């Protein structure tokens, strides 16, 4: 049975035969909590991958009772998150605590900071950089001049950005970042949910063997990405939007 990758949720998804898939939800978005009543009878476990630095304490809001809420594309909510420093589109700590207590729910990690870094490595299908990624680095002209992409900060060594200048990130600094980020997300799980998880989803679905080796040293055992590549250690996922008719 294939895994589905789900971000913010839109009404059209409920017309699909979701029972054919294992469902995974990325980022820890409020809509994933809100629509839980429509997923609670799914025959399989529901897996929520949480980017823990995005989660704030707050009141438990109402779940779905018949009204559909506006859908946010990922580039929209990432702009709110990184540029506007707004987090209301994510679940609160208390909402995740409520979900995690459900018998058909399991919680995994999606890193802590979920950040990006300029990199010489481009994705397989090059496309224009999202506005939030460019503004994350103050629309630096150096990114275009050097023909850089902007990739997962945990998966790529990349370039540090400081005072408008780019400098190659040292390898040991990159490794320390991976370790610190992983320590923080696992600590959040222990402190707020009282759990130790073994499931990890790669931010932006980007990964490499160095990253996997370090993550395994923290007891993480099952890994997820949209494209596993040649790795036999990663579970691939189908983007739910690819199933929705245009």
Q: What is the DSSP string of 108-174?
A: EE--SS--EEEESPPPSS--PPPHHHHHHTTT-HHHHHTT-EEEETTT---EEEETTEEEEPPHHHH
Query: Tokens in use for 215?
Result: 């993550």
Is there a domain that residue 50 lies in? yes
Provide the residue range defining the domain that includes 29: 3-115+170-243
Closest CA to 108 of 23, 184, 201, 31: 201
pLDDT 10s digits, 112-158: 999 999 999 998 888 899 999 999 999 999 999 999 999 999 999 99
Non-local CB neighbours of 164 within 8 Å, separated by 6+ positions? 138, 140, 142
> In the prediction, which pLDDT does 245 show?
86
Is there a domain that residue 94 lies in? yes
Asked if 192 and 96 count as a contact pair (C-beta separation under 8 A), the reply is yes
Q: What is the CATH number of the domain that holds 39?
A: 3.20.20.370
Is there a domain that residue 77 lies in? yes
Is there a domain that residue 157 lies in? no
Looking at every residue in the chain, the average pLDDT score rounds to: 97
Supply the pTM of this predicted model. 0.96
The residue behind tokens 């609160």 is 92
Non-local CB neighbours of 233 within 8 Å, separated by 6+ positions? 212, 223
Is there a domain that residue 212 lies in? yes
Asked if 88 and 71 count as a contact pair (C-beta separation under 8 A), the reply is no
Query: Tokens in use for 23?
Result: 């469902």
DSSP secondary-structure letter at 28?
T
Q: Do strands 105-109 and 116-119 pair parallel, antiparallel, or not at all (unpaired)?
A: unpaired
Outline where DSSP puts E strands in 186-229.
199-201, 222-225
Counted domains in the chain: 1
> In the prediction, which pLDDT does 23 show?
99
Is there a domain that residue 138 lies in? no
How far apart CA 228 and CA 205 sit, in angstroms, is: 9
Is there a domain that residue 140 lies in? no
Is there a domain that residue 44 lies in? yes
Interval 43-57 mean pLDDT: 98
């Amino acid at each position: 049975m294939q895994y589905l990758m789900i971000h913010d949720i839109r009404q059209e998804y409920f017309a699909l035969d979701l029972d054919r898939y294992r469902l995974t939800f990325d980022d820890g978005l409020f809509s994933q909590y809100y629509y839980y009543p429509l997923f609670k009878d799914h025959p399989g476990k529901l897996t929520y991958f949480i980017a823990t630095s995005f989660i704030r304490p707050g009141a438990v809001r109402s779940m779905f009772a018949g009204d559909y809420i506006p859908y946010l594309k990922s580039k929209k909510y990432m702009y709110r998150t990184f540029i506007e420093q707004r987090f209301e589109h994510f679940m609160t700590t208390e909402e995740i605590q409520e979900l995690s207590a459900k018998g058909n729910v399991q919680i995994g990690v999606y890193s802590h900071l979920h950040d990006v870094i300029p990199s010489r490595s481009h994705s397989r299908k090059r496309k224009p950089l999202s506005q939030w990624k460019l503004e994350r680095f103050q629309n630096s002209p150096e990114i275009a001049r050097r023909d850089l992409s902007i990739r997962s900060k945990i998966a790529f060594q990349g370039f540090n950005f400081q005072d408008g200048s780019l400098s190659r990130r040292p390898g040991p600094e990159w490794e320390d970042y991976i370790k610190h980020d992983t320590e923080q997300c696992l600590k959040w799980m222990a402190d707020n949910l009282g759990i130790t998880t073994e499931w990890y989803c790669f931010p932006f679905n980007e990964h490499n063997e160095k990253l996997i080796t370090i993550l395994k040293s923290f007891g993480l055992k099952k890994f997820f990405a949209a494209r596993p590549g040649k790795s036999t250690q990663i579970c691939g996922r189908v983007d739910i939007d690819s199933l929705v008719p245009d």
